[in-house]
Chains A and B, each alone.
Chain A
Amino acid sequence: MEALVCTACRRPLSVSDFNTDAFFQCPSCRARLKVDAFPALLRGIDRGKSGEVVLGEEASCFYHPNKKAEIACDYCGRFLCSLCDIPLDGKHLCLTCVEAGRKKGRITSLERHRTLYDSTALGLAVFPLVTFWFTLVTAPMALYIAIRRWNAATSVVGRGKGRLVAAIILSSLQILGWATGIAYFVSSRH
């Protein structure tokens, strides 16, 4: 078991104080701490499997021809040895499929970053209202983004189309306002 350290002074903590449901003092810096430890602390990190050597007519791994196939990739169907098998979200994948899934955003659990087009459209429709003149440019931009990215994925936690709808309504009103203003200006000139 690896020792847990105090988050203030980085000195090791005493195991006897863990899981007591009460705050205790760090022996080094006197910081008041509470530690909730779990069985994973005792387990440590599992060593990776190396894969068994193929014997006779046994199927072999697609990536390692001398290793015995253990399982097939759930995406591409290629045979994989225990070294190449990557368990993810209850599925078994090969490295190529994991890489492709990460790049194309097909595997949600590997996503670490996402652009929020709904917030961008709403921001473009709302923030320039402060100066008003910018809305001549930003309102069509907001409308374009809202329509173009209507089906784009929003936050990973999931949220509705409210922001997109609000952006469309606001930007349409701004465009309508500008059109009315320009029409009035032109008609008054003539």
Chain B
Amino acid sequence: MARLTRAGYRRLPGWGPRKTGLFAGVGTRCRLYLGEDHILSVDNHLFFEDYKRFYFTDIQAILTRKTSRWIVEAAIVLIVAACMTGCSLLLLSRPLGGFWMGLSIILIIYLFYHLARGPTCSCHIVTAVQEDLLPTVNRLRISRKVVPLLKSAVERVQGSVNTEEMAAAPVEDGPRYARPGANGALGSAGRGMAGTPAGRYRGGAHVAAFCLLLVAGILTLIDLTARHLPLLMTLCTLLGAAFSLFVIVALVKQRRGGASRAVRSLTWACFALICLSFCLGYAAAVQAMIHVMMLRPKMAPDQWDIGRTMMSLSPRSSPFLMVSYGFEAACSVVLGGLGLASVLRWRKSAGTARSAVDSTGQGMPAP
């Protein structure tokens, strides 16, 4: 017999973050509880809680879907861990070798933990008016424990139905949910509209971000292949900062509607590149600090010294810088080019659809 909370709820296994925005998921921990006549979903934001109740009488279905996040996350962690191990082997005799080795060991431990938790899935509760994700049921292992419990609780109230009975019932045509975006009811399909009439965003922030990325990538390539100039590096850094700003604006804009699937994916890839660049930049700063300390062992380096040394360090001065510069330049050029092409394509198709709507006065067709 499971232990009940003071309010008579039974806590169900699993927990997970509810991703409701770029940073909203940070610090939000979701848990599920089984009550007498309902399921309680609790989103804990550290100092306050949000609640959502699903009554057993209203639940129409529970949908579990296997996802590939398990494989993708494992592959990314493995690649990053392999890169870090490579760096540590290249810098084995230097002090930075230990730093990279430590990071790669942490990542490998996380990889084993991630693999031990098993394949991932997503679980949705469907009622007549909404379809809501259960962030706690994010692994198949947890779904095998939780879903039968929920199923038996719902069937205790509603009874059961077999496939023949459902097949005999007439199926209604038309959209399932009348209100768009009701608790994520439309999901990705709703967000995938090529410029809804409500949102007239034309992709300005996306164009600016991809252009800046492309220019920064080309400048880094010049820096890498031709002569190293600190001024060029400073310009690249400033372009990178502006690019980061525009990517954040683009992510906010694309969340409010508009932007095709390809543009959205590429913008998220840009965000991942920013995160990776930040990590590599941090490592480069550590390297610059060591460089300054070697030059002036008796004086502690300040921020200005570190920044100046970073700008003056040639990519050819160390294998780590060579690899990271090359990787960033290649990613920037590829992502910038692809992003720009896909934004222009999306703008063209959205413009055609918008003119069709303006002429007919009807709803916007999907791309």
Shortest beta-carbon distance, A50 to chain B, in Å?
20
A113 within 8 A of B: yes
Q: How far, in angstroms, from A120 to B186 measured CA to CA in the complex?
A: 36
Find out whether the CB atom of B171 lies under 8 angstroms from the CB atom of A111.
no
Does B112 count as interface, using CB distance less than 8 angstroms?
A: no
Which residue from B6, B51, B131 sits with its C-beta under 8 Å from A111?
B51
Say whether A41 faces chain B, with CB atoms less than 8 Å apart: yes
State how many angstroms separate the Cβ of A45 from the closest Cβ of chain B: 5
Q: Is the CB of B65 within 8 A of A120?
A: no
Q: How far apart sit A113 and B166, CA to CA, in the bound complex (Å)?
A: 37
Pair B33/A157 contact, Cβ less than 8 Å = yes
Whether, in the assembled complex, B50 has its beta carbon less than 8 Å from a beta carbon of chain A, the answer is yes
Contact (Cβ within 8 A) A19 B163:
yes
A190 interface hit (Cβ, 8 Å): no
From the candidates A1, A7, A18, A116, name the one contacting B187 in the complex (CB within 8 A): A7
**CB–CB A158/B6 < 8 A:** yes
CB contacts (< 8 Å) of B158 on chain A: these are 38-40
Residues from chain A with Cβ under 8 Å of B42 in the complex: 155-157
Q: How far is the CB of A56 from chain B (nearest CB, A)?
A: 37
Which chain B residues lie closer than 8 Å to A66 at the CB level? none
B162 to chain A: which residues have CB within 8 Å? 19
Give, as a whole number of angstroms, the nearest-CB distance from B313 to chain A: 33
**Does B345 sit within 8 A of A, measured CB to CB?**
no
Bound-state Cα–Cα, A1 to B60, Å: 10
Contact B151 A36 (CB under 8 A): yes
A34 within 8 A of partner (CB): yes
A1, chain B: closest CB distance, angstroms: 4
Given A1-B170, A39-B161, A157-B33, do A7 and B65 touch, yes or no (CB 8 Å)?
yes
- With an 8 Å Cβ cutoff, the count of chain B residues facing the other chain is 57
CB distance B7 to A4 under 8 Å?
no
Residues 1 to 43 of chain A near chain B (Cβ within 8 Å): 1-10, 12, 15-16, 18-20, 23, 31-42
Q: A39-B159, A42-B166 are in contact. Are A8 and B65 (CB under 8 A)?
A: yes
Verify B60–A160 contact, CB threshold 8 A.
no
Assess the A18–B166 pair: CB atoms within 8 A. yes
Chain B 142-158 interface residues, beta-carbon cutoff 8 Å to A: 147, 151, 154-155, 158
Which single residue of chain B is at the shortest CB-CB distance from A121? Answer: B47
Interfacial chain A residues near B60, Cβ < 8 Å: 4, 37-38, 40-41
A-chain residues with CB within 8 Å of residue B8 when the two chains form the complex: 158
**Is B291's beta carbon under 8 Å from chain A?**
no
Any chain A CB within 8 A of the CB of B52? Answer: yes
The residue of chain A having its C-beta at the shortest distance from the C-beta of B46 within the complex is A119
Tell whether A18 pairs with B51 under 8 Å between CB atoms, given A4-B126, A10-B186, A42-B166: no
Q: How far is the CA of A91 from the CA of B189 in the complex (A)?
A: 40
A111 to B166, CA, bound (A): 35
Contact of A109 among B11, B53, B151 (CB under 8 A): B53
Pick the contact of B147: A2, A8, A36, A116 (CB < 8 A): A36
Q: Which residues of A contact B5 (CB under 8 A)?
A: 157-159
CA A42 – CA B9 in complex, angstroms?
Answer: 29
> Are B65 and A40 within 8 A (Cβ)?
no
Which residues of A are interface residues toward B (Cβ below 8 A)? 1-10, 12, 15-16, 18-20, 23, 31-42, 44-45, 109, 111-116, 119-120, 123, 155-160
Closest 9 CB pairs of A and B: A158-B6, A158-B7, A10-B189, A32-B66, A41-B60, A1-B169, A37-B61, A34-B64, A36-B62
Supply 7 A–B pairs (Cβ within 8 Å), ascending by A: A6-B65, A18-B61, A33-B63, A35-B62, A40-B127, A111-B51, A115-B48
